[in-house]
Amino acid sequence: MRNLGLFALAAVFEIAGCFAFWLWLRRGVSPFVAVLGIVSLIAFAVVLTRVDSAFAGRAYAAYGGIYIAASLTWLWLAEGQRPTLTDLIGAGIAIVGALVIISFASKTH
């Protein structure tokens, strides 16, 4: 359960950091926003290293499913665009995959 919380927190930091660059480069906001994005991306990397996993690649793979769901939540809450049915189906499949990786990782080292 701790890992899921860390994955969710990492996703918020990563999406916010990338969105800061999106705002700067695509919408013309102040470059200072990109500096905040850098700080957010550093926080993302630090949080992701706190996940209980013996191997980085496995942690990143499991994180991927959570990231997809978090991105669609961001799409809805921050950008005002509702996810489509196919968005939700795809996110559901990704989350199932992430849960399989998380659930069986401790049994396979």
pLDDT digits (tens, 9 = 90+) for 10-50: 999 999 999 999 999 999 999 999 999 999 999 999 999 99
Q: Using 50, 70 and 90 to split pLDDT, how confident is the model at 1?
A: confident
Torsion angle in degrees (nearest 10) through CA of 95, 100, 102, 108: -160
Q: Is the pLDDT confidence value at 87 over 60?
A: yes
Q: What is the pLDDT of residue 18?
A: 97
Q: What is the pLDDT of residue 13?
A: 98
- How many domains, in total, are found in the chain? 1
| Residue 80: domain span | 2-105
Classify residue 73 by burial, with Cβ atoms within 10 Å: 0-12, 13-18, 19+.
Answer: middle
